[in-house]
A and B are shown apart, each in its own frame.
Chain A
């Protein structure tokens, strides 16, 4: 027990110690980091007291990277190397990127995710996002005075598997331990629900810079239950800027613009949009690189008119979400508005008319997601005592399926299933003697595979020769609590198996992540081995703590010998963790994990039994 003598904060193995955990809102336009301090969720500002970090990353030829305000200030001068709204490219191929022709970037169409050519080389959206996350991580560690135990990263509820995986990869690249990917509207519901002790059915309308989500939740004390979610992962405040930009180009009869002028006018368009929230008219002036002067005025009325189709685009998902929830607009007790773009009066009006009630605007729409994420991170890190915490039940936004004959998508897990969820389906061979089957995993609601998103392809080989239709191949889809899918296939007669974590098509393979890590360390001149050792230690100590906590709580489920064996193994890991061989630490961690499997199973069984016993006792009280 006395073997652990590591002095850094956050590394202590003392039980019930407050673990440093943060919530990160990785936004299209702005990103934030928040934490729970002395019971209250609070956004952590930078050294100048600014809460928001503009999600803009600028790459220099010498390898320097600027993130946030400095990158924003120079974006019109250096548009190709100043990457804004990178969230729109996460997990996306070039063909999926809307308005690519209006963007000042130099895209490289790589298999899978689109890449960007910059002065510092080709960058993946995952790397760009990781730069933003690194800055937020440093901000938090500086402010909290220690290493983070973990982070909750928010994603749009309507993000598909590829986009979620890309986000998780970015966090990993930034050296964050991801406690959970949390849906943005759900995070907002936590912040709103706790603040207002809300009960009943609520809708969260979340229109951010680049994405739109609508979630219907049932709130009760200690419980946040998502009933249905819908949205459009390519609709956001950016699109309103784009409309203003196009209007300006037309109104001022401008010739095709260079990248610098394009970015300049986009920035001006955004400013005009924001100004029109509280004014009847906005003047847009700019001097272009060729010397031409743009000077036009946009009225609020005209702005509404040119963005009407965008507002209309939000209505379909709202109807679908209500239908999936089996509810009408009248069943909704309140509509929580989230995201900077909900400040636009036409959005407020449209939502008010749809739900026939005034939207709730009493939380800062820019901060509420980060605050909710921080509250959830605090719970997940184990900082809340049982009874003070809450349970969050979320759903998968889009159906998951597999391609069958004729290019049809067979749905295996329907949208709005509560996660984690697993479902299996049996398939058979098409030809006599067929020895392999190839599977194509897709996500989406459409019947044809070509209209769905392709997530992964994999093969099951070594099926023994059988007549067509005789093989029984069971394909199992498992979605975890982060909404991430893994798929496995197994032939019944022979037990031949194949499985994939759904990564290759659009996400990054582990080797890519490793390469990016190596690249980033070459620049930062940090010692990779030191980081590997540190990570292994942190993980090991976390595990020792968890096992000791479990033994203290439920040691009675073990025989004296079993208990002694686990205690010995935990102590052994603690001893190895104070050494400097990261491989040995990993091995000892794995050994302890294996040794605790049986105990973990018994604890779950006991938990379920206690739950039922508690319910019966409660029932008797009635």
Chain B
């Protein structure tokens, strides 16, 4: 089976042309989507659902920086190992504790807004670093470490989301 990048006719790199990805996704969807085969026979409807499922999965993976990095590293034989590799640098962990304390103390939407903005800023910095490590220096082991950090921040962002529901 072709890679997610090949599926969309893209070069396998962390820096993706988002517009080209969107365009390819829509082009393919418009050919394989179940709505195009609603009046077709069972075999075609099944094939259409399988293809669309695969295209959706590939698009979701390439659209998200974390998932895209993880997938690229896997293609290069490096497992990010978020579940198994829990060793993180001390300063990073300290910073996480700090952010989590801020989250625990945030009981106003405005406080959550500020925290979320901070998390987003740190995510952007990490993404820039990951792009450099994967595409330029091809240092996949180091990139895996940065991807793990990004996963920590994604989890935190999800928790901030839940916290909003509580304060609203």
Contacts and interface: CB of A to CB of B under 8 A. Distances in A.
B60 interface: yes
B34 A420 contact: yes
Contacts of A19: 39
Interface stretch (A86-94, A195-203, A295-303, A596-604): A596-604
A221 to B, nearest CB: 11
Nearest to B2: A608
Contacts of B7: 608
Interface string A468-501: 0000000000101100000000000000000000
Interface string B7-21: 111000000000010
Contacts of A393: 29, 33
A611 B27 contact: yes
Given A391-B30, A417-B60, A612-B28, A593 B43 contact: yes
Interface in A537-580: 542-543, 546-547, 550
B35 A392 contact: yes
A381 B43 contact: no
Contacts of A180: 35, 38
Interface in A291-339: 316, 319-320, 323
A495 B47 CA distance: 23
Q: Which of B23, B29, B44 lies at the interface centre, i.e. has the most chain A CB atoms within 10 A of its CB?
A: B44
13 contacts: A316-B165, A316-B168, A323-B164, A376-B35, A382-B39, A391-B35, A421-B56, A600-B46, A604-B47, A608-B51, A611-B30, A615-B9, A615-B20
Contact of A597 (B8, B28, B29, B43): B43
B27 A603 contact: no
Nearest to A612: B9
B57 interface: yes
A607 B32 contact: yes
A616 B38 contact: no
Interface SS of A by simple majority: helix
Given A319-B168, A607-B31, A608-B31, A179 B38 contact: yes
Interface in A375-389: 376, 379-382
Closest 3 CB pairs of A and B: A607-B31, A380-B38, A611-B27
Contacts of B50: 604
A417 B59 CA distance: 11
B52 interface: yes
B50 to A, nearest CB: 8
Chain B binding surface SS class: helix
Q: Give the interface residue-count category, chain A.
A: 35 or more
B161 interface: yes
Interface string A4-32: 00000000000000010000000000000
B8 to A, nearest CB: 8
B142 interface: no
Contacts of A179: 38-39
A593 B41 contact: yes
Contact of A610 (B23, B31, B39, B48): B31
Contacts of A345: none
Contacts of A420: 34, 49, 52-53, 56
Contacts of B57: 421-423
B28 A546 contact: no
Interface in B95-136: none
A223 interface: yes
Nearest to A392: B35
A177 B46 CA distance: 17
A600 B39 contact: no
A604 B60 contact: no
Contact of A481 (B20, B30, B35, B41): B35
B153 interface: no
Contacts of A616: 9
B28 A608 contact: yes
A35 to B, nearest CB: 16
A546 B38 CA distance: 10
A341 interface: no
Residue of B7, B30, B32, B56 with most partner-chain A CB within 10 A: B30
Residue among A19, A319, A599, A611 with the highest chain B CB neighbour number at 10 A: A611
Interface string A588-622: 00001110110111011001101110111001000
A149 interface: yes
A384 to B, nearest CB: 11
B42 interface: yes
A320 B161 CA distance: 9
Contact of A611 (B20, B31, B46, B165): B31
Given A420-B53, A600-B43, A600-B44, A150 B38 contact: yes
B121 to A, nearest CB: 16
A615 B47 contact: no
Contacts of B156: none
Contacts of A417: 56, 60
A418 interface: yes
A319 B24 contact: no
Interface string B151-165: 000000000010011
A616 B20 CA distance: 10
B40 interface: yes
B26 interface: yes
A615 B41 contact: no
Contacts of A419: 56
Given A481-B49, A550-B44, A604-B51, 10 more contacts: A150-B38, A316-B165, A319-B164, A420-B56, A596-B41, A597-B46, A607-B32, A608-B7, A608-B51, A611-B27
A480 B35 contact: no
Contact of A480 (B8, B32, B43, B49): B49
- Residue among A381, A417, A478, A603 with most chain B CB within 10 A: A603
Contacts of B39: 19, 149-150, 179, 380-382, 542, 546
Interface string B53-83: 1001101100000000000000000000000
B40 A615 contact: no
Contacts of B28: 607-608, 611-612
Contacts of A607: 28, 31-32
Contacts of A380: 35, 38-39
A150 B38 CA distance: 10
B31 A546 contact: no
A478 B54 CA distance: 11
B32 A418 contact: no
A324 to B, nearest CB: 8
A610 to B, nearest CB: 7
B165 A320 contact: yes
Given A480-B49, A608-B7, A616-B9, A603 B44 contact: yes
